[in-house]
Amino acid sequence: MTDEVSQLVERLNDAHHDEQRVVFEDAVDQLEGTELALLLESLPVAERLERWEQVPDEERINVLVTMRSESRQAIFDSIDEEKLHALLNNVHAEDLVQLADTLPESVVDEALQNMAEMQREHYQQSVQYETDQIGRYVDHGLYILPRTARVRDALRGLKKSSFECADCLYLIKRNGDFAGTVLIQTLFSAPPEQSLQALSIDEPMTVPAEMSRSTASDKVEHSGLMALPVVDANNKLSGRITLRQALEITRENYESQLMATAGLNEDEDLFAPVLRSSKRRATWLGINLLTAFFASWAIGLFEATLQQVVALAVLMPIVASMGGIAGSQTLTLIIRGLALGQIAKGNIPPLLIKEVSVGALNGVLWAIVIGVIASFWFASINIGLVIAAAIVLNIIAAAFSGVVIPIILDRLTIDPALSGSVILTTVTDVVGFVAFLGLGTLFLL
């Protein structure tokens, strides 16, 4: 896929304006909806809107649903309300749930009015749940039978069905309560008159609709099944979550985490408007500026020393940077552990001991290297000794902070991927500068 999309971007770019039409028609034939969404996201907005016109009607909803929301917004903004109504005619409940937050309310209302009764109910059920709860995203394409049904009924239903690959069918009581899961496979070797209830698997797993998306998707991944039934607080079967959804959710989670390390959002459009993009990023720069002023303030405490030993100013960045890098290694390891749920109060002490030991070893190693180089560079053994001591102190502090900061942030339910490295850098900068310039003041003046 990777190559296909970028090759198409290339071909579109190489083509003359009128040939682009032809190239994109090829792309439409060749790509699945998800890939088409990626391709459209890769184009500057003006071009994207022009190509969008060529996306066949029947593909449009699918493409929009898989697009990142900011890129999709750019398309919606260019469509007038009447065309939006036409686009959303016959939209499925699941799709409308995904699109609703990037649509004007009036358009959503109109789409709901045109929906079949059943679809509207599905929609209204889904939007009761928060955006991070799995109940909002349940898939309704599941094969449901009353628990009194027999194998024969189930096989007959399979002939007519058009469910996306299902390995299971679900049984419900007359009031809609979930009553069991039957593996389709077991139907084939069972006598036609056997009751489905008897074939139901022992202790069938269900997912509560209030469960978080990521926990629910982990459950599906580990279930060994292709989907799990989702039930509401009253044990009514409200839908299912499939392995394909689990894959999408996993991808989104990781992408958010990666983007968060730079203070960005998963939905950020590659070609977001300059003003909007600047505004969003300005916040992150502002937060960082505060921490940079901390570092400057720490240096400012030692102005007199710097004036006398200018070598300290030259070497300062080395102390800060070694601390920052060592700390970010520990931080990244711990953030992964937190994301995987591997870190609990119980294993923090041995983790701290391990990371601080690693820090101490590397601190001493690199302190010697840097100390020797600095001694020769400034022809002063004392400068070498001072920077060596500062490096050891800072790398150990960095390892300690790399464990402690993300764990505290996680307790406070602040995303450590987002703010962990800003805080860590502040610590390693301040500790590094104070240690280095402080020791310099004591021993070099």
Under the binding rule (CB under 8 A), the answer on residue 275 touching a copy of itself is yes
With CB under 8 A, what is the number of residues at the site for a copy of itself?
A: 127
Under the binding rule (CB under 8 A), the answer on residue 208 touching a copy of itself is no
Q: How far apart are CA 243 and CA 135, in angstroms?
A: 15
Compute the least distance from the CB of residue 132 to a copy of itself, in Å.
Answer: 13
Nearer to a copy of itself, 297 or 443 (CB): 297
Please give the structure tokens belonging to residue 293.
């002023």
> How crowded is residue 299: how many other Cβ atoms within 10 Å of its Cβ?
21
Taking CB under 8 A as the criterion, the residue among 124, 148, 234, 278 binding a copy of itself is 278
Stretch that binds a copy of itself, among 107-115, 127-135, 139-147, 251-259 (CB under 8 A): 251-259
Is residue 386 a contact partner of residue 444, using CB atoms and an 8 Å limit? yes
Sequence-ordered strand ranges (E) for 69-162: 144-146
Output the CA torsion sign for 372, 374, 376, 380.
Answer: negative
Stretch that binds a copy of itself, among 22-30, 83-91, 108-116, 254-262 (CB under 8 A): 254-262
What is the helix (H) or strand (E) element at residue 322, kind and residue range? helix 310-339
Taking CB under 8 A as the criterion, the residue among 149, 315, 367, 390 binding a copy of itself is 315
Under the binding rule (CB under 8 A), the answer on residue 16 touching a copy of itself is no
Taking CB under 8 A as the criterion, the residue among 28, 127, 264, 385 binding a copy of itself is 264
Nearer to a copy of itself, 246 or 423 (CB): 246
Rounded to 10 degrees, the C-alpha dihedral 115/119/124/128 comes to: -140
Site string for a copy of itself, 325-354 (x = CB under 8 A): xx-xx-xxx-xxx-xxxxxxxxx--xx--x
Stretch that binds a copy of itself, among 86-94, 106-114, 130-138, 311-319 (CB under 8 A): 311-319
Cα-atom radius of gyration of the chain, to the nearest Å?
A: 29
Compute the least distance from the CB of residue 217 to a copy of itself, in Å.
Answer: 9
What is the residue whose two structure tokens read 């390891």? 333
Nearer to a copy of itself, 83 or 222 (CB): 222
Compute the least distance from the CB of residue 197 to a copy of itself, in Å.
Answer: 21
Nearer to a copy of itself, 133 or 288 (CB): 288
Per CB under 8 A, contacts with a copy of itself among 134-153 are: none
Q: How many CA atoms lie within 13 A of 135 on its CB side?
A: 19
Taking CB under 8 A as the criterion, the residue among 65, 84, 316, 386 binding a copy of itself is 316
Stretch that binds a copy of itself, among 72-80, 103-111, 122-130, 313-321 (CB under 8 A): 313-321
**Residue among 61, 6, 15 nearest 38 (CA):** 6
For residues 94-113, one letter each, b for 16 or more C-beta atoms within 10 angstroms of the residue's C-beta and e for the rest, the string is bbbbbbbebbeeebbebbbe
Is residue 168 a contact partner of residue 226, using CB atoms and an 8 Å limit? yes
Per CB under 8 A, contacts with a copy of itself among 411-440 are: 425, 429, 433
Alpha helices in 190-347 (DSSP H): 196-199, 213-223, 243-260, 274-300, 303-308, 310-339
Per CB under 8 A, contacts with a copy of itself among 155-184 are: 155, 158-161, 164-165, 167
Please give the structure tokens belonging to residue 256.
């958010």
Nearer to a copy of itself, 235 or 256 (CB): 256
Per CB under 8 A, contacts with a copy of itself among 349-408 are: 350-351, 354, 357-358, 361-362, 365-366, 369-370, 373
Nearer to a copy of itself, 60 or 336 (CB): 336
* Bridge-based pairing state of the strands 227-231 and 237-242: antiparallel
Compute the least distance from the CB of residue 277 to a copy of itself, in Å.
Answer: 5
Nearer to a copy of itself, 13 or 89 (CB): 13
Compute the least distance from the CB of residue 175 to a copy of itself, in Å.
Answer: 29
Under the binding rule (CB under 8 A), the answer on residue 261 touching a copy of itself is yes
Compute the least distance from the CB of residue 256 to a copy of itself, in Å.
Answer: 11
> How crowded is residue 118: how many other Cβ atoms within 10 Å of its Cβ?
10
Taking CB under 8 A as the criterion, the residue among 86, 118, 233, 258 binding a copy of itself is 258
Per CB under 8 A, contacts with a copy of itself among 290-309 are: 291-293, 295-296, 299-300, 303, 306-307
Per CB under 8 A, contacts with a copy of itself among 29-88 are: 32, 34-35, 38-39, 41-44
Which neighbouring-strand residues pair with 207?
230
Is residue 182 a contact partner of residue 147, using CB atoms and an 8 Å limit? no
What single-letter amino acid sits at 126?
A: S
* Bridge-based pairing state of the strands 178-183 and 207-208: unpaired
Exposed / middle / buried, residue 337 (Cβ in 10 Å: 0-12, 13-18, 19+): middle
- Cα-based angle 89, 94, 100 (whole degrees, multiple of 5): 70
Is residue 127 a contact partner of residue 100, using CB atoms and an 8 Å limit? yes
